[in-house]
Amino acid sequence: DSGVTQTPKHLITATGQRVTLRCSPRSGDLSVYWYQQSLDQGLQFLIQYYNGEERAKGNILERFSAQQFPDLHSELNLSSLELGDSALYFCATSGLSHTDTQYFGPGTRLTVL
Amino acid sequence: DAKTTQPTSMDCAEGRAANLPCNHSTISGNEYVYWYRQIHSQGPQYIIHGLKNNETNEMASLIITEDRKSSTLILPHATLRDTAVYYCIVRGLGGSQGNLIFGKGTKLSVKP
């Protein structure tokens, strides 16, 4: 158990809908990273937040957004969902330094029908 | 793109050491080598990381060559539960370099 929690574990929704995925970091971790894992693309970095502010962006679509709240939990919002958005979504958290090790949560499996 | 090259798959007998190689010939002086593994569709699990020196923890050992262009992850006594995809990742410092760039990894199958 990494200490990182993600909810929900599974999410099934329809095309065009909007969903919110939640990540709670390990105690003391300030950084949150979001990753997407699809069958054809592998694990890809989406976005990073550090202490409430966006720090880095990866291959994140404009339909996707994230935020980190004062209690340091983070939410990833996915809108206008398409079939191709079906994937595993992981968050990882790390401590004060940007060289600190990232610890991953168990993931949310999103299925878009 | 991933900065590392790993074999697609490897087999190992249960109880034997598993040696997983990784090439990272373009690594910079301030970049670390990280190893993660992913069992089925679970979240990637951190194993070990290093900069220059060899490292050991309760899970594995990491051997980095002197020129830092390659490394080997060693699981000393592999068990069936070590069957997973193992990712070797070169990670920079700060900003967008802080995130992890995953390649395809090595699928390790531990057989009885």
Average pLDDT value for residue range B63-78: 96
Q: What is the pLDDT of residues B46-57, one digit of tens each?
A: 999 999 989 999
Kindly report the nearest CA distance between residue B35 and chain A, in angstroms.
11
CA dist B30 and B42 (Å) reads: 30
Say what the pLDDT of residue B71 is. 97
Whether A97 shows a pLDDT value over 90: the answer reads: no
- At B82, is the secondary structure helix, strand, or coil? helix
Measure CB to CB from residue A101 to each of B41, B46, B99 and give the nearest one. B46
Are B101 and A90 a contacting pair at CB < 8 A?
A: no
Question: Chain A contact for B96, CB < 8 A?
Answer: yes
Question: Chain A contact for B21, CB < 8 A?
Answer: no
- Count Cα neighbours of A110 within 13 Å in the Cβ-side half-sphere: 30
Q: Which amino acid is at B1?
A: D
> Which residues in chain A touch residue B51, judged by CB atoms under 8 angstroms apart?
none
| Res. B94 pLDDT band, cuts 50 70 90 | low
In this structure, how many other beta carbons lie within 10 angstroms of the beta carbon of residue B68?
18
Contacts of B76 (CB under 8 A, 6+ apart): B17, B60, B61
Are A48 and B98 a contacting pair at CB < 8 A?
A: yes
Q: Among all residues of chain B, which has the CA nearest to that of A46?
A: B99
Say what the pLDDT of residue A83 is. 96
As given in the structure block, the two tokens for residue A99 are 């060289």
**b or e along A18-39 (b: 16 or more beta carbons within 10 Å of the residue's beta carbon)?**
ebebbbbbbeebbbbbbbbbee
Say what the pLDDT of residue B93 is. 65
Share of chain B above pLDDT 70, in %: 93
Average pLDDT value for residue range A85-91: 97
Say what the pLDDT of residue A40 is. 77
Q: What is the pLDDT of residues A24-71, one digit of tens each?
A: 999 989 999 999 999 877 899 999 999 999 998 998 999 999 999 999
| Res. B30 pLDDT band, cuts 50 70 90 | confident
Say what the pLDDT of residue A1 is. 86
